[in-house]
């Protein structure tokens, strides 16, 4: 199913209702929460890296700058994994809907 960038929707001449804005923000935050729970920092989130399908479901894409993080026992980030370590998005749960 074809997707389009969120940026295209923002730049279009259509108007957003407050409920539309709340829905988009909620779904983006849910996606970020999921990514963060996988110990991944996206580092390049922008409208061009958010896809919408024909049902306006949001998918976050372009993990080229993303990095794994290491956490301590208090669940705080203690250090970034070295830059040369890339994210293998195939290890993320493909069946999770955020």
Active-site annotation, residues: 44
Q: What are phi and psi of 80, to 5 degrees?
A: -85, 145
Strands 77-80, 50-52: pairing kind: unpaired
Q: 């894409």: which residue's tokens?
A: 61
């Amino acid at each position: 199913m074809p997707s389009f960038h969120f940026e295209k929707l923002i730049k279009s001449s259509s108007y957003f209702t407050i409920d539309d804005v709340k829905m988009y923000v909620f779904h983006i935050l849910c996606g970020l929460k999921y990514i963060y729970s996988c110990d991944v920092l996206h580092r390049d989130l922008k409208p061009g890296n958010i896809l919408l399908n024909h049902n306006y479901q949001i998918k976050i894409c372009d993990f080229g700058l993303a990095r794994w993080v290491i956490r301590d026992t208090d669940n705080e980030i203690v250090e970034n994994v070295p830059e040369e370590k890339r994210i293998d998005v195939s290890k993320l749960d493909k069946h999770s809907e955020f």
